Amino acid sequence: MPIDNKHATWGGRFSAQPDALMQVFGESVSFDKRLAPYDLKGSLGHATMLAHVGLLSSEEFAEIKQGITELEEEVLSNDFPWKLELEDVHMNLEQALGKKTKAADKLHSGRSRNDQVATDMRLFFKDACASLQISLEGTMQALLLIAEKYSELPIPGYTHLQRAQPVTVGHHLLAYIEALGRDHERFSVVGKHANVCPLGSGAIAGSTLPLDREFTAKILGFVDAEGNACMTPNGMDAVADRDLFLEFASACSLTALHLSRLSEDIILWNSTEFGFVSLPDSFTTGSSLMPQKKNPDCYELVRGKTGRIVGNLTNLLVTVKGLPLTYNRDLQEDKPPVFDSYDQLSICLAVVKNCMEGTDFIEEKCIAAASDPLLLATDLADFLVCKGVPFRQAHHVVGELVGYAESQKISLSEISDENAMAISEHLTGDWRGVFDLKRAFASREKPGMPGPGQISSRITHWKSVLTV
């Protein structure tokens, strides 16, 4: 006996219903129902094409269009009755449309769930990339405001978490703005790669029906800057490859990594040992035991969620690596990591933005830390180089000076001229002038350096970019 009509979309071949366990195991509607707006949009585009080529009458198309409009309203109002036994978002919507019009039976002509879901996901990626770019711009603007406010406030720059050379808050935060700017570009690339219509690929080899792929692509907005239709050139690749998913997950991971590194900096700066920043109370938490605590939880969670987002990329890579062409059911599992990466990155960007807007730098602490003469030991080596001393020799001389100062428990700048000359005869003149921070920054006006002019230039650049 054939199975009942609720499985009519694929059940003609089968004489038994799916096992109840298989229904639970195989369903995806619990997570892919968020694709409903895109699935309905794709179905309307496909129906429009079918009417265009004469495979739907005008009356049938009108009924399908009206039914899709009603379903859109149900989905948006959360009134749609999702059924796990109907497996996925596509079968749920198809069956619901079938209850509204018999013409729905013709809607799947020339279409497979394979190219259907590929289309849904490309529409999703286009929107997701645009949304994340807007969020990135907001976070970058928040960082830019702080960078401008404290553009000349000196702080130590670190390597190996050891004080290295003085930079400014502006220079440090601009480093993250530059990185997030590249992330923004990466989502542009992903969005461009998503802008290719798979409909018409069918399950693997297209269809013998008179489909108009170019028409469908234009209807659904898969067009280039000149309005030309953008279509997948190979049906097998269109339905089977998941490099777009991987690109998106990778772009999310790289963005999250940058947010995580920024978070780590702020967590360190917020500690008593550093004391460089004060975070807003609204984005910090206390302790259930220790009443004095003010914990940077929001940034710690960004670090933690970054691990989750990177894990999603790894998930996808491992899932895809061993699959033959074309579609395999393993690929059902490609959506949860993508959706999760999008959701988690979106909230991370919002949290960093909002927290940064309420962050203040404690200027006296920053200046005190940056005023350590050891931070300008390299500048002293450069001073000797300008006197003709080879850099390696100059490096050795300054190392000796540092060792001597440590042995005497004095600052590098407190070494007497006599003792300095005993180490190098070239330490004449105003060698202590090297330790003046304003001079140090004024000497760094080449591109990429933390000189005031360079920082001001990059701030102006990013202001113009982010306000376009």
Q: 391-441: per-residue pLDDT in tens? A: 999 999 999 999 999 999 999 999 999 999 999 999 988 999 999 999 999
List beta partners, residue 364: none
Tell me how far apart the alpha carbons of residues 228 and 221 are, in angstroms, rounded to a whole number: 10
- Is residue 164 within 8 A of residue 375, CB to CB? The reply is yes
Tell me how far apart the alpha carbons of residues 411 and 374 are, in angstroms, rounded to a whole number: 8
* Residue 111 CB coordination number (10 Å): 26
- Is residue 183 within 8 A of residue 251, CB to CB? The reply is yes
CATH fold of 114-367: Fumarase C; Chain A, domain 2 (1.20.200)
Is the C-alpha dihedral spanning 47, 49, 50, 56 positive or negative? positive
On average, the pLDDT of the chain sits at 95
- Is residue 268 within 8 A of residue 296, CB to CB? The reply is no
- For residue 165, which phi and psi values (nearest 5 degrees)? -145, 155
Annotated active-site positions, please?
Answer: 160, 287
Lookup result for tokens 């959360």 = 78
Token pair belonging to 275: 């004391």
Token pair belonging to 227: 């309005």
Lookup result for tokens 């799947």 = 108
CATH number listed for the domain at residues 5-109: 1.10.275.10
- Report pLDDT digits (tens) over 181-221: 999 999 999 999 999 999 999 999 999 999 999 999 999 99
Mean pLDDT for 120-138 is 98
pTM of the model: 0.94
Residues of the chain with pLDDT > 90, as a percent, come to 91
Instruction: Map residue 189 onto helix, strand or coil.
Output: helix
Strand 360-361, strand 277-278: pairing: antiparallel
CA 8 to each of CA 2, 29, 88, 98, 226: distance values in angstroms, whole numbers, following the listed order: 9, 18, 14, 11, 42
Q: What are the boundaries of each domain within the chain?
A: 5-109, 114-367, 371-466
CATH fold of 371-466: Ribonucleotide Reductase Protein R1; domain 1 (1.10.40)
pLDDT at 57: 98
